[in-house]
């Protein structure tokens, strides 16, 4: 699925402050290598429905074994291994005898201490890999993951690596064996070790995806193979919210445009980002935050949410809004299936101009039947101009005001909002009172 970095940031897959990103919330990797692979997966949503289903099957398989996942391998383990492979040790013989081992320890004390400490971590790593591969033995895995599992099994059959994997945790390793393992790890099997570390990074990333599904009780969406776009979700919510209010949503070619209104803070942006995030996660093969979800494979997702001006280039906010809409139209006018998310169109100009521009854009977008659109706006009046369009679904979030206090139900209602609460907020925050005292 095509998605640019602007859209990825708009729906908070990644964020400048990492703790506010969906990636961070779903990252259960134990190693930096695993995190790097997970980051790569999150940057490459699938465009192939079979790969999506394969990843879903892989995660389902891991979920049945996740409670037995070993804890032997930590990020510290990998850091020690990585440092050891590049550490400038004094030369070690391929198969030292007891005397040579004793002399090496006596003459190269610091290097031997490094060897003794590191070999223990390699043993932890190979032992943990053996456990993981044992858990996956006999499992029906997709072709890609199975290839890495088979390769890891092949590498761990190498004599020195196999011996290390069989050393019980905490068992002392004698001087001769320490030097034997050190030589083999750094010389004979160096590339095999690096390959196993890389394979573990992938396994760690897949483990993380399974842990996220388990932790947040995500559901696997059903992909429908048809020519026209579809999103049907029940009890959909945003995974970043601690106490979300879920939505039901249906979008198809007969109702391919959702016109969303409501006051600030009522929930419009959250709904838009919830749909975007769920569709994105679905295309990773992940579970989604919903009770159930059906959708088609989308060729792309594009958003217009957090538009910025550019002082250095002399570009106004409105100019960049126009450019983003222009780029969106160029992308989606290709007969492919797209999901288009637009939050508060044309905030960078006056109300009358914004209404005229918005109507022109919406009427034009309605002609593109291969895409689904969600658009939020404060320009409630243009809804009256669009009521004759049968493919538009009108929804709003209500706001209740009592004694200048606001309350939000975050429930989607049919129709168009009439809420205008800007002055209420200004008054509630004592700004009006402050101004009157000037």
User: What pLDDT, on a 0 to 100 scale, did the predictor assign at position 94?
Assistant: 82
SS3 310: strand
The CB density around residue 369, as the number of other CB atoms within 10 Å, is: 13
User: What pLDDT, on a 0 to 100 scale, did the predictor assign at position 266?
Assistant: 76
Residues 31, 32, 38: CA angle, nearest 5 degrees: 90
CB 169 within 8 A of CB 72: yes
For the four alpha carbons of 327, 333, 337 and 339, in that order, the dihedral sign comes to: positive
User: What pLDDT, on a 0 to 100 scale, did the predictor assign at position 29?
Assistant: 97
Map out the domains of the chain with their CATH numbers. 20-216 (1.10.1420), 222-436 (3.40.50.300)
Q: What is the pLDDT of residues 351-369, one digit of tens each?
A: 888 889 899 999 999 999 9
Q: Taking all residues of the chain, what is their mean pLDDT, rounded to a whole number? A: 91
CB 175 within 8 A of CB 101: yes
Q: Which residues of the chain have pLDDT under 50?
A: 309, 311-314
Q: What is the pLDDT of residues 159-169, one digit of tens each?
A: 999 999 999 98
As a residue count, the chain comes to 438
pTM comes to: 0.91
Cα separation, 7 vs 283, in Å, equals: 15
User: What pLDDT, on a 0 to 100 scale, did the predictor assign at position 312?
Assistant: 41
Q: What's the distance, Cα to Cα, between the start and end of the chain in Å? A: 56
CB 341 within 8 A of CB 268: no
The CB density around residue 367, as the number of other CB atoms within 10 Å, is: 7
Distances, alpha carbon 161 to alpha carbons 19, 38, 116, 124, 155, in Å: 38, 27, 16, 11, 8
CA dihedral 48, 49, 53, 56 (to 10 degrees): 70
User: What pLDDT, on a 0 to 100 scale, did the predictor assign at position 232?
Assistant: 98
Q: At residue 28, what are phi and psi to the nearest 5 degrees? A: -115, 20
Q: What is the pLDDT of residues 379-435, one digit of tens each?
A: 888 988 999 999 999 999 887 766 666 667 788 899 998 776 666 666 767 777 787
User: What pLDDT, on a 0 to 100 scale, did the predictor assign at position 313?
Assistant: 46
The CB density around residue 357, as the number of other CB atoms within 10 Å, is: 18
| Strand runs labelled E in 185-332 | 222-223, 231-236, 247-251, 257-262, 292-295, 300-304
Of 258, 251, 228, nearest in space to 374 by CA: 258
**Residues facing residue 376 across a β-bridge:** 260, 343
User: What pLDDT, on a 0 to 100 scale, did the predictor assign at position 362?
Assistant: 94
């Amino acid at each position: 699925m095509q998605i640019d970095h602007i859209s990825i940031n708009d729906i908070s897959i990644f964020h400048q402050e990492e703790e506010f990103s969906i990636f961070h919330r779903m990252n259960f990797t134990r190693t930096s290598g695993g995190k790097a692979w997970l980051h790569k997966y999150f940057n490459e949503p699938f465009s192939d429905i079979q790969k999506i289903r394969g990843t879903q099957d892989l995660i389902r398989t891991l979920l049945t074994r996740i409670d037995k996942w070993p804890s032997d391998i930590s990020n510290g383990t990998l850091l020690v291994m990585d440092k050891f492979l590049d550490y400038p040790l004094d030369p070690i013989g391929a198969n030292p005898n007891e005397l040579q081992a004793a002399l090496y320890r006596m003459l190269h004390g610091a290097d031997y201490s490094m060897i003794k400490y590191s070999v223990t971590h390699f043993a932890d790593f190979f032992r943990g890999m053996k456990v993981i591969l044992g858990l996956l033995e006999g499992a029906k895995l997709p072709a890609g993951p199975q290839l890495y599992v088979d390769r890891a099994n092949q590498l761990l059959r190498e004599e020195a690596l196999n011996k290390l994997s069989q050393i019980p945790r905490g068992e002392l390793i004698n001087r001769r064996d320490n030097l034997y393992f050190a030589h083999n790890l750094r010389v004979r099997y160096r590339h095999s070790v690096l390959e196993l570390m890389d394979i573990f990074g992938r396994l760690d990333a897949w483990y993380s995806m399974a842990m996220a599904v388990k932790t947040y009780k995500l559901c696997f969406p059903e992909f429908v193979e048809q020519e026209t776009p579809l999103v049907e979700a029940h009890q959909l919510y945003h995974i970043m919210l601690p106490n979300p209010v879920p939505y039901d949503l249906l979008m198809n070619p007969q109702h391919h445009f959702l016109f969303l209104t409501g006051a600030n803070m009522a929930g419009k942006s959250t709904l838009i980002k919830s749909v975007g995030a769920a569709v994105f996660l679905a295309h990773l093969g992940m579970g989604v935050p919903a009770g159930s979800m059906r959708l088609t494979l989308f060729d792309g997702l594009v958003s217009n949410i957090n538009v910025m001006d550019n002082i250095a280039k002399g570009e106004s906010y409105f100019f960049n809004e126009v450019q983003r809409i222009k780029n969106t139209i160029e992308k989606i006018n290709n007969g492919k299936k797209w999901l288009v998310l637009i939050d508060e169109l044309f905030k960078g100009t006056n109300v009358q101009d914004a209404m005229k521009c918005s109507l022109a854009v919406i009427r034009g977008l309605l002609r593109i039947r291969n895409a689904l659109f969600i658009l939020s706006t404060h320009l409630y009046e243009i809804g009256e101009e669009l009521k004759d369009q049968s493919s538009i679904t009108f929804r709003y979030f209500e706001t209740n005001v009592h004694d200048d206090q606001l309350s939000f139900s975050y429930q989607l209602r049919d129709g168009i909002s009439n809420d205008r609460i800007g002055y209420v907020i200004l008054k509630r925050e004592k700004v009006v009172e402050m101004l009157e005292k000037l």
